[in-house]
Structure 1
């Protein structure tokens, strides 16, 4: 069920954005096109074959209102209508030379206007706005941009924060955070003896996994975690797959990891990747109840 607090925040954002569009409409539109006309013309410009019905469906404009607008644009020699040979009841819309020139002029007007509007914002603020817009659009449309790339020492702080938050949310004691920080400190002393991968969603770091060579040819997996807000996007599988590719490409014959029996999703991924359970020991060091410390091992066949 959608959180009612979020619904109220969403409505508040919609009001803010509607007011912002109203401000932009007043400042940047009217001389050439209204903002609605500009949106219609943009659809025609960016599509080789588009009908009034297509535009109505995409922009959710009333068909009667759209018909009047297209008649006006046609009368002003901005839009050209031709019969759709595949559907005699429909017309294909295109821009005239005048229409194209006006559309490009409108784009430049808006660009210059926004440049002035954003003049007082720092590069860092512009970057935050850019990130926020990307996150909102891609999350709302469920078309997230997912990247899993090799990380490094610069990501140590993120990994510590992420893993600490994840295990705190799962109810583990602070001792597990101390363990995470200890292993990260050891890695920083010998970063060439390991690899880190970071998962990003819409360019925001949200997951991690690491591989460390503790001794000659003794490789251990560490820091495998995904932010709870970004689960169910296949990030855990993607991170582990990336690590497994590295093992095979570099001829690593064996790798092991320690986990806890409660972490079912991670254990399922280990099984799928060919790991086998080699040790299991009851312990209360991680939580205020007994859990099983498990060692899982992968061997190259």
Structure 2
């Protein structure tokens, strides 16, 4: 059974590598345009979805909210799309293709069809049917077994430059939306990454960011906990506990003697979790105007 599983895994990954090359070929030769496959797919969804919204695009394509927002802003700036406020809920906007956007989309669609026809032209009818039937079988089997199961969350202990951008955007959006912090907080976030980063852990579900936590080195025996955040949709699934436990275990393994963090008194969500792990408040600063709000800063310590 073990050998069979290993064989299936290898064949699955082999096919993935092959099909990645096919997609690369399509991306390079079909569109011959400044649009990526993801951007082209977004154009497809807007064109074919009644009253499409950015949230619908995010959910249907499994994309990060910030990423979708940046694409929408660029499309709007280039007169590819336009927005229309929803009459029932003024906070939502429908997204539509402009006349120029429709023209661009139809040209991309035409090029895509021509390229697929080019790929199929040397394949006889019998093999074409077998190919399409196989594609339908793959879609059917994977759809049944992927879409109806709970998302599996994994935690990785390395980060890339793109992760830093995502962390900054997620933190900015969360504190702006939840606590009304202004743009000065964004400047502060960028500054925090100038420190000596010891480690960053990223929690993901289906390849999408769902949370993070990090460590900054203070001295040989002390580290600072930073950037602790879990997406709202995942906050009751124990991901915060997993991230914090992973961080504490790492610090014990590296023989650090103290972990500290700075937070504000209005941050009620994480406080029970800090207490659960043994953190205690060791310093409270006088309330002051910070990031557009009157805030009281607190230092929490954990002795290992």
TM-score after normalising by structure 2: 0.51
- Out of 149, 152, 161, the residue aligned to residue 156 of structure 2 is 149
Give the match's secondary structure for 1:282. coil
- The 1:158–1:113 alpha-carbon spacing in structure 2 relative to 1, beyond 3 Å, is same
- Out of 205, 213, 218, the residue aligned to residue 209 of structure 1 is 213
Larger of the two Rg values belongs to structure: 1
- 1:253·1:299 contact (CA, 8 Å) conserved in 2? yes
- Out of 164, 168, 178, the residue aligned to residue 187 of structure 2 is 178
Cα deviation code 1:195-246 (max 9, x no counterpart): 0000112221121110010333231011111222332222111111110110
* Corresponding position of 2:176: 168
Give me the whole-angstrom Cα distance separating, in 2, the residues matched to 1:116 and 1:201.
25
Give me the whole-angstrom Cα distance separating, in 1, the residues matched to 2:145 and 2:297.
37
Give me the whole-angstrom Cα distance separating, in 2, the residues matched to 1:164 and 1:216.
30
* Corresponding position of 1:198: 202
Give me the whole-angstrom Cα distance separating, in 1, the residues matched to 2:214 and 2:220.
17
1:278 maps onto 2:282 in alignment: yes
Cα deviation code 1:152-186 (max 9, x no counterpart): 243211211111111111211222221111011x1
- 1:173·1:286 contact (CA, 8 Å) conserved in 2? no
Give me the whole-angstrom Cα distance separating, in 2, the residues matched to 1:294 and 1:209.
18
Give the match's secondary structure for 2:269. helix
Give me the whole-angstrom Cα distance separating, in 1, the residues matched to 2:145 and 2:173.
21
Give the match's secondary structure for 1:215. coil
Deviation larger for 208-217 or 236-245: 208-217
Give the match's secondary structure for 2:132. helix
1:218 maps onto 2:227 in alignment: no
- 1:282·1:290 contact (CA, 8 Å) conserved in 2? no
Give the match's secondary structure for 1:148. strand
- The 1:229–1:134 alpha-carbon spacing in structure 2 relative to 1, beyond 3 Å, is farther
Give the match's secondary structure for 1:264. coil
Q: Kindly tell me the number of residue pairs found equivalent between the two proteins.
A: 178
* Corresponding position of 1:41: none
Give me the whole-angstrom Cα distance separating, in 2, the residues matched to 1:282 and 1:146.
39
- The 1:183–1:112 alpha-carbon spacing in structure 2 relative to 1, beyond 3 Å, is same
- The 1:135–1:230 alpha-carbon spacing in structure 2 relative to 1, beyond 3 Å, is farther
- 1:199·1:205 contact (CA, 8 Å) conserved in 2? yes
4+ runs deviating over 6 angstroms: 108-111, 132-136
Give the match's secondary structure for 2:285. strand
Give me the whole-angstrom Cα distance separating, in 2, the residues matched to 1:161 and 1:277.
28
* Corresponding position of 2:67: none
CA RMSD, aligned part only?
A: 3.5
Please give the residue correspondences for 1:1-301 in structure 2 after superposition, counting only pairs within 5 Å.
Answer: 112-113=131-132, 137-138=147-148, 141=149, 143-154=150-161, 155-170=163-178, 171-184=180-193, 186-187=194-195, 190-191=196-197, 194-300=198-304
Give me the whole-angstrom Cα distance separating, in 1, the residues matched to 2:301 and 2:224.
9
Note the residue ranges of structure 2 that are not aligned, 5 or more in a row.
1-51, 61-126
Cα deviation code 1:103-146 (max 9, x no counterpart): xxxxx9997215668xxxxxxxxxxx9xx9699825xx5x1211
- 1:166·1:226 contact (CA, 8 Å) conserved in 2? no
Give the match's secondary structure for 1:265. coil
